[in-house]
Chain A
Amino acid sequence: MIPIEITVNGRRYRETVPARLLLSDFIRHTLGLTGTHVGCEHGVCGCCTIILDGTSIRSCLFLAVQADGSELRTVEGLAGGGELTALQRAFRERHALQCGFCTPGILMAAVDFLGRHPEPSREQVVGLLSGHLCRCTGYEPIVEAILDAAGER
Protein backbone atom coordinates (compact mmCIF):
# COMPACT_ATOMS: atom_id res chain seq x y z
CA MET A 1 0.00 0.00 0.00
CA ILE A 2 1.28 3.42 -0.98
CA PRO A 3 0.19 6.80 0.44
CA ILE A 4 -0.81 9.39 -2.16
CA GLU A 5 -2.04 12.96 -2.08
CA ILE A 6 -4.22 14.17 -4.93
CA THR A 7 -6.30 17.28 -5.56
CA VAL A 8 -9.56 16.58 -7.36
CA ASN A 9 -11.80 19.46 -8.44
CA GLY A 10 -10.06 21.71 -5.92
CA ARG A 11 -10.43 19.34 -2.97
CA ARG A 12 -7.40 17.63 -1.48
CA TYR A 13 -7.50 13.88 -0.76
CA ARG A 14 -5.01 11.75 1.15
CA GLU A 15 -5.44 8.04 0.59
CA THR A 16 -3.44 4.85 0.78
CA VAL A 17 -3.76 2.67 -2.30
CA PRO A 18 -2.41 -0.56 -3.76
CA ALA A 19 0.12 0.08 -6.54
CA ARG A 20 -2.03 -1.80 -9.05
CA LEU A 21 -5.17 0.30 -8.53
CA LEU A 22 -6.18 2.08 -11.74
CA LEU A 23 -6.85 5.81 -11.47
CA SER A 24 -10.36 5.24 -12.91
CA ASP A 25 -11.20 2.82 -10.10
CA PHE A 26 -9.61 5.13 -7.53
CA ILE A 27 -11.82 8.01 -8.68
CA ARG A 28 -15.00 5.93 -8.66
CA HIS A 29 -14.51 3.48 -5.79
CA THR A 30 -12.18 5.25 -3.39
CA LEU A 31 -13.37 8.83 -3.87
CA GLY A 32 -16.95 7.97 -4.85
CA LEU A 33 -16.87 10.35 -7.81
CA THR A 34 -18.97 8.23 -10.15
CA GLY A 35 -19.36 10.88 -12.84
CA THR A 36 -16.24 9.41 -14.45
CA HIS A 37 -17.47 6.34 -16.29
CA VAL A 38 -15.67 3.13 -17.14
CA GLY A 39 -16.37 1.24 -20.35
CA CYS A 40 -13.72 -0.76 -22.18
CA GLU A 41 -10.90 -0.26 -19.68
CA HIS A 42 -8.25 -0.39 -22.38
CA GLY A 43 -8.29 3.12 -23.77
CA VAL A 44 -10.66 2.77 -26.71
CA CYS A 45 -14.10 3.96 -25.57
CA GLY A 46 -13.04 7.25 -23.99
CA CYS A 47 -15.63 7.23 -21.16
CA CYS A 48 -13.04 7.54 -18.39
CA THR A 49 -11.25 10.59 -19.84
CA ILE A 50 -10.33 13.15 -17.18
CA ILE A 51 -7.94 16.09 -16.97
CA LEU A 52 -4.65 15.53 -15.16
CA ASP A 53 -2.50 18.62 -14.56
CA GLY A 54 -4.25 20.41 -17.42
CA THR A 55 -4.13 17.62 -20.01
CA SER A 56 -6.82 15.09 -20.89
CA ILE A 57 -5.87 11.46 -20.29
CA ARG A 58 -7.55 8.08 -20.04
CA SER A 59 -7.88 7.37 -16.33
CA CYS A 60 -8.11 3.62 -17.08
CA LEU A 61 -4.57 3.74 -18.55
CA PHE A 62 -3.05 5.33 -15.49
CA LEU A 63 -2.28 4.08 -12.00
CA ALA A 64 -3.57 5.97 -8.99
CA VAL A 65 -0.03 6.02 -7.55
CA GLN A 66 1.21 7.82 -10.65
CA ALA A 67 -1.15 10.71 -9.89
CA ASP A 68 0.50 11.39 -6.51
CA GLY A 69 0.95 15.15 -6.18
CA SER A 70 -1.23 15.90 -9.22
CA GLU A 71 -4.30 17.99 -9.78
CA LEU A 72 -7.27 16.25 -11.38
CA ARG A 73 -10.42 17.58 -12.91
CA THR A 74 -13.42 15.35 -13.45
CA VAL A 75 -16.86 16.05 -14.88
CA GLU A 76 -18.09 16.98 -11.39
CA GLY A 77 -15.67 19.91 -11.49
CA LEU A 78 -17.16 21.54 -14.60
CA ALA A 79 -20.33 23.25 -13.38
CA GLY A 80 -19.10 25.48 -10.58
CA GLY A 81 -21.93 26.59 -8.29
CA GLY A 82 -24.42 24.49 -10.25
CA GLU A 83 -24.27 26.64 -13.34
CA LEU A 84 -23.55 24.72 -16.54
CA THR A 85 -20.56 25.68 -18.64
CA ALA A 86 -21.05 26.88 -22.22
CA LEU A 87 -19.97 23.43 -23.41
CA GLN A 88 -22.48 21.66 -21.18
CA ARG A 89 -25.26 24.04 -22.26
CA ALA A 90 -24.40 23.37 -25.90
CA PHE A 91 -24.69 19.63 -25.26
CA ARG A 92 -28.15 20.14 -23.76
CA GLU A 93 -29.33 22.46 -26.50
CA ARG A 94 -28.06 20.23 -29.31
CA HIS A 95 -29.35 16.98 -27.72
CA ALA A 96 -25.76 15.77 -27.78
CA LEU A 97 -26.47 13.03 -25.27
CA GLN A 98 -29.14 10.48 -24.61
CA CYS A 99 -28.10 7.81 -22.11
CA GLY A 100 -25.16 9.95 -21.00
CA PHE A 101 -22.66 7.16 -20.51
CA CYS A 102 -20.05 8.55 -22.91
CA THR A 103 -20.74 12.20 -22.04
CA PRO A 104 -18.36 12.82 -19.11
CA GLY A 105 -15.38 11.56 -21.11
CA ILE A 106 -16.31 13.61 -24.16
CA LEU A 107 -16.80 16.75 -22.07
CA MET A 108 -13.41 16.43 -20.40
CA ALA A 109 -11.61 15.73 -23.69
CA ALA A 110 -13.45 18.66 -25.30
CA VAL A 111 -12.42 21.05 -22.51
CA ASP A 112 -8.75 20.22 -23.15
CA PHE A 113 -9.23 20.16 -26.93
CA LEU A 114 -10.96 23.57 -27.09
CA GLY A 115 -8.26 25.03 -24.84
CA ARG A 116 -5.64 24.06 -27.44
CA HIS A 117 -7.81 24.48 -30.56
CA PRO A 118 -10.05 27.48 -29.85
CA GLU A 119 -11.35 27.62 -33.42
CA PRO A 120 -11.47 23.99 -34.52
CA SER A 121 -12.59 22.83 -37.94
CA ARG A 122 -15.43 20.33 -38.16
CA GLU A 123 -12.86 17.76 -39.29
CA GLN A 124 -10.75 18.33 -36.17
CA VAL A 125 -13.79 17.83 -33.94
CA VAL A 126 -14.66 14.62 -35.78
CA GLY A 127 -11.04 13.53 -35.26
CA LEU A 128 -11.35 14.18 -31.53
CA LEU A 129 -14.52 12.09 -31.38
CA SER A 130 -12.78 9.10 -32.99
CA GLY A 131 -11.56 8.48 -29.46
CA HIS A 132 -15.06 8.38 -27.93
CA LEU A 133 -17.70 5.76 -28.56
CA CYS A 134 -21.35 6.87 -28.44
CA ARG A 135 -24.15 4.42 -29.17
CA CYS A 136 -27.04 6.89 -28.93
CA THR A 137 -26.52 10.07 -30.88
CA GLY A 138 -24.86 9.16 -34.14
CA TYR A 139 -22.23 11.80 -33.19
CA GLU A 140 -23.60 14.65 -35.32
CA PRO A 141 -25.24 16.49 -32.39
CA ILE A 142 -21.98 16.14 -30.41
CA VAL A 143 -20.00 17.67 -33.27
CA GLU A 144 -22.50 20.54 -33.45
CA ALA A 145 -22.39 21.08 -29.69
CA ILE A 146 -18.60 21.28 -29.57
CA LEU A 147 -18.55 23.67 -32.55
CA ASP A 148 -21.23 25.79 -30.85
CA ALA A 149 -19.19 25.91 -27.64
CA ALA A 150 -16.10 26.92 -29.61
CA GLY A 151 -18.07 29.72 -31.25
CA GLU A 152 -19.14 31.07 -27.86
CA ARG A 153 -15.64 31.32 -26.49
Chain B
Amino acid sequence: MKPAPFRYERPETLEEALGLLAEHGEEAKVLAGGQSLVPLLSMRFARPAVLVDVNRLPGLDGIAAENGHVRAGTLARQSAFGEAPPVLERVPLATEAVPHIGHFATRNRGTVGGSIAHADARAELPLALVALGGSAVLASRRGRREVAADDLFVTHFTSALEPDELLVETLWPAAGPGWGCAFEELALRAGDYALGMTACVLHIEEARIAVARVAVGAVTDRPTVIPEAGELLAGEAVDATLAREAGRAAARAVDPVDSLHASAAYQRHLTGLLVERAVLRAWEAAL
Protein backbone atom coordinates (compact mmCIF):
# COMPACT_ATOMS: atom_id res chain seq x y z
CA MET B 1 0.00 0.00 0.00
CA LYS B 2 1.18 3.49 -0.75
CA PRO B 3 0.42 5.57 2.35
CA ALA B 4 2.10 4.76 5.65
CA PRO B 5 -0.29 3.36 8.27
CA PHE B 6 -2.54 5.80 10.12
CA ARG B 7 -5.59 5.65 12.36
CA TYR B 8 -8.70 6.69 10.45
CA GLU B 9 -11.31 8.78 12.25
CA ARG B 10 -14.55 9.92 10.68
CA PRO B 11 -16.28 12.25 13.13
CA GLU B 12 -20.00 12.85 12.61
CA THR B 13 -20.14 16.19 14.43
CA LEU B 14 -17.99 19.31 14.56
CA GLU B 15 -17.59 18.88 18.32
CA GLU B 16 -16.21 15.41 17.82
CA ALA B 17 -13.82 16.60 15.09
CA LEU B 18 -12.51 19.45 17.25
CA GLY B 19 -12.09 17.01 20.12
CA LEU B 20 -9.93 14.75 17.95
CA LEU B 21 -7.80 17.70 16.83
CA ALA B 22 -7.43 18.88 20.43
CA GLU B 23 -6.41 15.38 21.48
CA HIS B 24 -3.95 14.59 18.70
CA GLY B 25 -2.64 18.04 17.71
CA GLU B 26 0.28 17.86 15.30
CA GLU B 27 -0.03 14.08 15.07
CA ALA B 28 -3.34 14.54 13.24
CA LYS B 29 -4.07 15.69 9.72
CA VAL B 30 -7.47 16.82 8.46
CA LEU B 31 -8.74 15.07 5.32
CA ALA B 32 -11.14 17.25 3.32
CA GLY B 33 -11.14 16.87 -0.48
CA GLY B 34 -7.81 15.09 -0.34
CA GLN B 35 -6.67 16.30 -3.76
CA SER B 36 -3.37 17.52 -2.31
CA LEU B 37 -3.20 15.46 0.86
CA VAL B 38 -3.73 11.98 -0.62
CA PRO B 39 -0.78 12.32 -3.06
CA LEU B 40 1.34 13.51 -0.12
CA LEU B 41 0.23 10.43 1.84
CA SER B 42 0.88 8.11 -1.10
CA MET B 43 4.38 9.53 -1.60
CA ARG B 44 4.83 9.41 2.18
CA PHE B 45 5.77 13.06 2.38
CA ALA B 46 2.98 13.24 4.96
CA ARG B 47 2.85 10.52 7.62
CA PRO B 48 0.17 11.54 10.12
CA ALA B 49 -0.61 9.16 12.97
CA VAL B 50 -4.30 10.07 12.80
CA LEU B 51 -6.32 11.07 9.75
CA VAL B 52 -9.46 13.03 10.63
CA ASP B 53 -11.89 12.73 7.72
CA VAL B 54 -14.22 15.74 8.00
CA ASN B 55 -16.23 14.99 4.86
CA ARG B 56 -19.31 13.83 6.75
CA LEU B 57 -19.57 16.78 9.11
CA PRO B 58 -23.03 18.23 8.57
CA GLY B 59 -23.77 21.75 7.36
CA LEU B 60 -20.27 22.69 6.26
CA ASP B 61 -20.80 22.81 2.50
CA GLY B 62 -23.19 25.74 2.21
CA ILE B 63 -22.59 28.77 -0.01
CA ALA B 64 -24.68 31.84 0.81
CA ALA B 65 -24.63 35.61 0.37
CA GLU B 66 -25.04 37.81 3.44
CA ASN B 67 -23.99 41.27 4.70
CA GLY B 68 -21.65 42.22 1.90
CA HIS B 69 -19.92 38.91 1.48
CA VAL B 70 -20.40 35.32 0.40
CA ARG B 71 -19.91 32.73 3.09
CA ALA B 72 -18.56 29.37 1.90
CA GLY B 73 -18.58 26.36 4.20
CA THR B 74 -15.23 24.63 4.30
CA LEU B 75 -16.52 21.51 2.51
CA ALA B 76 -17.98 23.39 -0.46
CA ARG B 77 -16.45 21.65 -3.48
CA GLN B 78 -14.45 23.87 -5.80
CA SER B 79 -16.62 23.09 -8.85
CA ALA B 80 -19.83 23.86 -6.92
CA PHE B 81 -18.31 27.06 -5.48
CA GLY B 82 -17.27 28.52 -8.85
CA GLU B 83 -20.74 27.96 -10.30
CA ALA B 84 -22.90 28.77 -7.26
CA PRO B 85 -25.32 31.65 -8.01
CA PRO B 86 -24.16 33.86 -5.08
CA VAL B 87 -20.55 33.48 -6.27
CA LEU B 88 -21.43 34.06 -9.93
CA GLU B 89 -23.28 37.23 -8.95
CA ARG B 90 -21.04 38.65 -6.24
CA VAL B 91 -17.57 37.06 -6.37
CA PRO B 92 -16.73 36.93 -10.07
CA LEU B 93 -13.03 36.76 -9.19
CA ALA B 94 -13.56 33.31 -7.65
CA THR B 95 -15.57 32.15 -10.65
CA GLU B 96 -12.64 33.21 -12.85
CA ALA B 97 -10.07 31.53 -10.63
CA VAL B 98 -11.73 28.12 -10.15
CA PRO B 99 -11.26 26.72 -13.70
CA HIS B 100 -7.49 27.15 -13.25
CA ILE B 101 -7.50 24.73 -10.29
CA GLY B 102 -6.41 21.23 -11.31
CA HIS B 103 -8.88 19.37 -13.50
CA PHE B 104 -12.61 18.71 -13.88
CA ALA B 105 -12.61 15.61 -11.66
CA THR B 106 -10.27 17.08 -9.01
CA ARG B 107 -12.41 20.23 -8.73
CA ASN B 108 -15.40 17.96 -8.10
CA ARG B 109 -13.70 16.68 -4.99
CA GLY B 110 -11.32 19.45 -3.89
CA THR B 111 -12.80 21.78 -1.30
CA VAL B 112 -12.60 25.54 -0.87
CA GLY B 113 -11.53 25.26 2.77
CA GLY B 114 -8.95 22.58 2.05
CA SER B 115 -7.29 24.72 -0.58
CA ILE B 116 -7.16 27.70 1.77
CA ALA B 117 -5.84 25.65 4.71
CA HIS B 118 -3.22 23.92 2.54
CA ALA B 119 -1.71 27.40 1.92
CA ASP B 120 0.07 26.52 -1.30
CA ALA B 121 1.64 29.71 -2.67
CA ARG B 122 0.80 28.46 -6.18
CA ALA B 123 -2.89 27.89 -5.45
CA GLU B 124 -5.65 30.00 -6.96
CA LEU B 125 -8.20 30.32 -4.14
CA PRO B 126 -5.73 31.66 -1.54
CA LEU B 127 -4.65 34.33 -4.03
CA ALA B 128 -8.26 35.28 -4.80
CA LEU B 129 -9.10 35.48 -1.08
CA VAL B 130 -6.10 37.75 -0.40
CA ALA B 131 -6.86 40.00 -3.38
CA LEU B 132 -10.44 40.44 -2.20
CA GLY B 133 -9.41 41.08 1.40
CA GLY B 134 -11.47 38.12 2.60
CA SER B 135 -11.07 36.06 5.71
CA ALA B 136 -11.37 32.59 7.22
CA VAL B 137 -13.12 31.38 10.35
CA LEU B 138 -11.10 28.93 12.44
CA ALA B 139 -12.74 26.79 15.11
CA SER B 140 -11.28 24.87 17.99
CA ARG B 141 -12.38 23.72 21.41
CA ARG B 142 -11.02 27.03 22.64
CA GLY B 143 -13.51 28.93 20.50
CA ARG B 144 -13.74 30.61 17.12
CA ARG B 145 -11.70 33.35 15.53
CA GLU B 146 -11.83 35.14 12.21
CA VAL B 147 -8.47 35.68 10.54
CA ALA B 148 -7.95 38.09 7.62
CA ALA B 149 -6.51 36.38 4.54
CA ASP B 150 -3.50 38.70 4.71
CA ASP B 151 -2.64 37.26 8.14
CA LEU B 152 -3.66 33.70 7.38
CA PHE B 153 -0.94 32.78 4.90
CA VAL B 154 2.52 32.69 6.46
CA THR B 155 4.80 31.00 3.94
CA HIS B 156 4.90 27.86 1.76
CA PHE B 157 2.29 25.38 3.04
CA THR B 158 2.15 27.24 6.34
CA SER B 159 -0.87 29.09 7.65
CA ALA B 160 -1.88 30.69 10.92
CA LEU B 161 -3.99 27.61 11.78
CA GLU B 162 -3.03 26.05 15.10
CA PRO B 163 -2.84 22.23 15.20
CA ASP B 164 -6.12 22.03 17.14
CA GLU B 165 -8.00 24.34 14.76
CA LEU B 166 -10.27 23.49 11.86
CA LEU B 167 -11.00 26.01 9.12
CA VAL B 168 -14.80 25.99 9.06
CA GLU B 169 -15.66 28.71 6.56
CA THR B 170 -14.30 31.42 4.32
CA LEU B 171 -15.76 34.89 3.77
CA TRP B 172 -15.53 36.38 0.29
CA PRO B 173 -16.26 40.14 0.03
CA ALA B 174 -18.98 40.78 -2.52
CA ALA B 175 -18.47 43.04 -5.51
CA GLY B 176 -21.09 45.70 -6.22
CA PRO B 177 -21.48 48.42 -8.83
CA GLY B 178 -18.15 50.06 -9.68
CA TRP B 179 -16.12 47.03 -8.72
CA GLY B 180 -14.14 45.10 -11.31
CA CYS B 181 -11.78 42.19 -11.03
CA ALA B 182 -9.61 39.90 -13.11
CA PHE B 183 -7.61 36.74 -12.54
CA GLU B 184 -4.66 35.89 -14.80
CA GLU B 185 -2.50 32.81 -14.75
CA LEU B 186 0.07 31.09 -16.93
CA ALA B 187 0.82 27.39 -16.57
CA LEU B 188 2.73 25.20 -19.03
CA ARG B 189 -0.38 23.04 -19.48
CA ALA B 190 -3.97 23.67 -18.38
CA GLY B 191 -4.33 22.39 -14.82
CA ASP B 192 -0.59 22.40 -14.08
CA TYR B 193 0.83 24.48 -11.27
CA ALA B 194 1.12 28.08 -12.37
CA LEU B 195 4.42 29.71 -13.31
CA GLY B 196 2.82 33.02 -12.46
CA MET B 197 -0.59 34.26 -11.32
CA THR B 198 -2.22 37.51 -10.35
CA ALA B 199 -5.57 38.79 -9.15
CA CYS B 200 -6.61 42.42 -9.45
CA VAL B 201 -9.58 44.07 -7.73
CA LEU B 202 -10.52 47.68 -8.53
CA HIS B 203 -13.21 50.02 -7.30
CA ILE B 204 -14.01 52.99 -9.49
CA GLU B 205 -15.67 56.22 -8.40
CA GLU B 206 -16.32 58.97 -10.95
CA ALA B 207 -14.15 57.24 -13.55
CA ARG B 208 -11.13 57.15 -11.23
CA ILE B 209 -9.73 54.29 -9.20
CA ALA B 210 -10.75 54.62 -5.55
CA VAL B 211 -9.45 51.24 -4.38
CA ALA B 212 -6.90 49.03 -6.11
CA ARG B 213 -5.65 45.69 -4.85
CA VAL B 214 -3.12 43.79 -6.91
CA ALA B 215 -1.94 40.46 -5.54
CA VAL B 216 0.42 37.87 -6.99
CA GLY B 217 1.11 34.21 -6.32
CA ALA B 218 3.41 31.39 -7.51
CA VAL B 219 6.46 33.70 -7.62
CA THR B 220 6.21 34.49 -3.90
CA ASP B 221 6.17 32.27 -0.81
CA ARG B 222 2.54 33.17 -0.14
CA PRO B 223 -0.20 35.07 -1.95
CA THR B 224 1.05 38.62 -1.66
CA VAL B 225 -0.55 42.04 -2.12
CA ILE B 226 1.71 44.42 -4.04
CA PRO B 227 1.06 47.84 -2.45
CA GLU B 228 3.39 49.58 -4.96
CA ALA B 229 1.02 48.63 -7.79
CA GLY B 230 -2.06 49.66 -5.84
CA GLU B 231 -0.59 53.06 -4.92
CA LEU B 232 0.36 53.71 -8.52
CA LEU B 233 -3.19 53.07 -9.67
CA ALA B 234 -5.04 54.98 -6.93
CA GLY B 235 -6.78 58.13 -8.15
CA GLU B 236 -6.02 57.39 -11.79
CA ALA B 237 -7.90 56.26 -14.88
CA VAL B 238 -6.39 53.16 -16.44
CA ASP B 239 -4.91 53.22 -19.91
CA ALA B 240 -2.38 50.91 -21.56
CA THR B 241 0.57 52.92 -20.25
CA LEU B 242 -0.62 52.95 -16.66
CA ALA B 243 -1.40 49.22 -16.76
CA ARG B 244 2.12 48.56 -18.01
CA GLU B 245 3.57 50.71 -15.23
CA ALA B 246 1.55 48.78 -12.64
CA GLY B 247 2.92 45.57 -14.13
CA ARG B 248 6.47 46.91 -13.92
CA ALA B 249 5.93 47.94 -10.30
CA ALA B 250 4.78 44.41 -9.47
CA ALA B 251 7.70 42.87 -11.36
CA ARG B 252 10.13 45.03 -9.37
CA ALA B 253 8.45 44.14 -6.08
CA VAL B 254 8.76 40.34 -6.38
CA ASP B 255 11.88 38.26 -5.91
CA PRO B 256 11.29 34.88 -7.58
CA VAL B 257 13.75 32.00 -7.51
CA ASP B 258 14.92 29.97 -10.50
CA SER B 259 12.92 26.79 -11.07
CA LEU B 260 13.23 23.85 -13.43
CA HIS B 261 10.68 25.41 -15.76
CA ALA B 262 11.39 29.12 -15.59
CA SER B 263 14.27 31.38 -14.61
CA ALA B 264 13.76 34.06 -12.00
CA ALA B 265 14.04 36.71 -14.74
CA TYR B 266 11.30 35.04 -16.77
CA GLN B 267 9.00 34.76 -13.75
CA ARG B 268 9.56 38.44 -13.02
CA HIS B 269 8.75 39.38 -16.61
CA LEU B 270 5.70 37.11 -16.57
CA THR B 271 4.41 38.65 -13.34
CA GLY B 272 4.59 42.11 -14.90
CA LEU B 273 2.74 40.97 -17.97
CA LEU B 274 -0.02 39.20 -16.02
CA VAL B 275 -0.53 42.22 -13.76
CA GLU B 276 -0.73 44.50 -16.81
CA ARG B 277 -3.41 42.30 -18.38
CA ALA B 278 -5.34 41.91 -15.13
CA VAL B 279 -5.39 45.66 -14.45
CA LEU B 280 -6.74 46.36 -17.94
CA ARG B 281 -9.44 43.72 -17.67
CA ALA B 282 -10.44 44.70 -14.13
CA TRP B 283 -10.76 48.32 -15.26
CA GLU B 284 -13.00 47.34 -18.17
CA ALA B 285 -15.10 45.17 -15.88
CA ALA B 286 -15.52 48.00 -13.38
CA LEU B 287 -16.58 50.66 -15.91
B-contacting residues of A (Cβ < 8 Å)?
A: 2, 18-22, 25, 41-43, 46, 49, 55-58, 60-63, 65-66, 109, 112-113, 127-128, 130-132
Given A19-B6, A19-B8, A63-B38: A130 and B43 interface contact (C-beta under 8 Å)? no
Taking a contact as CB atoms closer than 8 A, the residue among B4, B8, B38, B104 that contacts A62 in the complex is B38
Find the B residue at minimum CB distance from A25: B1
Q: Are the CB atoms of A49 and B105 closer together than 8 Å?
A: yes
Q: Are the CB atoms of B6 and A20 closer together than 8 Å?
A: yes
Taking a contact as CB atoms closer than 8 A, the residue among A22, A41, A66, A131 that contacts B104 in the complex is A131
A-contacting residues of B (Cβ < 8 Å)?
A: 1-8, 10, 31, 34-35, 38-39, 41-43, 51, 53, 55, 99, 102-106, 108-109, 189-191
Find the A residue at minimum CB distance from B43: A42
Given A2-B8, A42-B39, A131-B102: A20 and B1 interface contact (C-beta under 8 Å)? yes
| Residue among A22, A55, A58 facing the most chain B CB atoms (10 A cut-off) | A58
Tell me the bound Cα distance from A46 to B102 in angstroms: 11
Given contacts A42-B42, A61-B106, 7 further A-B contacts (CB under 8 A): A57-B105, A60-B38, A62-B109, A63-B38, A66-B31, A127-B104, A131-B105
Given A2-B8, A42-B39, A130-B189: A56 and B3 interface contact (C-beta under 8 Å)? no
Do most interface residues of chain A lie in helix, strand or loop, or is the interface mixed?
Answer: mixed
Q: Are the CB atoms of B34 and A61 closer together than 8 Å?
A: yes
Taking a contact as CB atoms closer than 8 A, the residue among B42, B55, B106, B189 that contacts A22 in the complex is B42
Q: Are the CB atoms of A56 and B39 closer together than 8 Å?
A: no
| Residue among B5, B31, B105 facing the most chain A CB atoms (10 A cut-off) | B105
Tell me the bound Cα distance from A109 to B191 in angstroms: 15
List residues of chain A with CB within 8 A of the CB of B10. 65
Q: Are the CB atoms of A66 and B191 closer together than 8 Å?
A: no
Q: List 12 A-B contacts (CB under 8 A).
A: A19-B7, A21-B1, A25-B1, A42-B39, A43-B103, A56-B104, A56-B108, A58-B105, A62-B38, A63-B31, A65-B10, A130-B190
List residues of chain A with CB within 8 A of the CB of B42. 22, 41-42, 60
List residues of chain B with CB within 8 A of the CB of A61. 34-35, 38-39, 106, 109
Q: Are the CB atoms of A62 and B34 closer together than 8 Å?
A: yes
Find the B residue at minimum CB distance from A58: B105
Smallest CB separation, B195 vs chain A (Å) = 16
Given A61-B38, A62-B38: A131 and B6 interface contact (C-beta under 8 Å)? no
Q: Are the CB atoms of A127 and B109 closer together than 8 Å?
A: no
Tell me the bound Cα distance from A61 to B41 in angstroms: 10
List residues of chain B with CB within 8 A of the CB of A19. 5-8, 51
List residues of chain B with CB within 8 A of the CB of A22. 1-3, 38, 42
List residues of chain A with CB within 8 A of the CB of B109. 55, 57-58, 61-62
Smallest CB separation, B204 vs chain A (Å) = 31
Tell me the bound Cα distance from A53 to B6 in angstroms: 26
List residues of chain B with CB within 8 A of the CB of A58. 35, 105-106, 109
Given A22-B2, A56-B105, A127-B99: A65 and B8 interface contact (C-beta under 8 Å)? yes
List residues of chain B with CB within 8 A of the CB of A66. 31, 34, 53, 55
Find the B residue at minimum CB distance from A126: B190
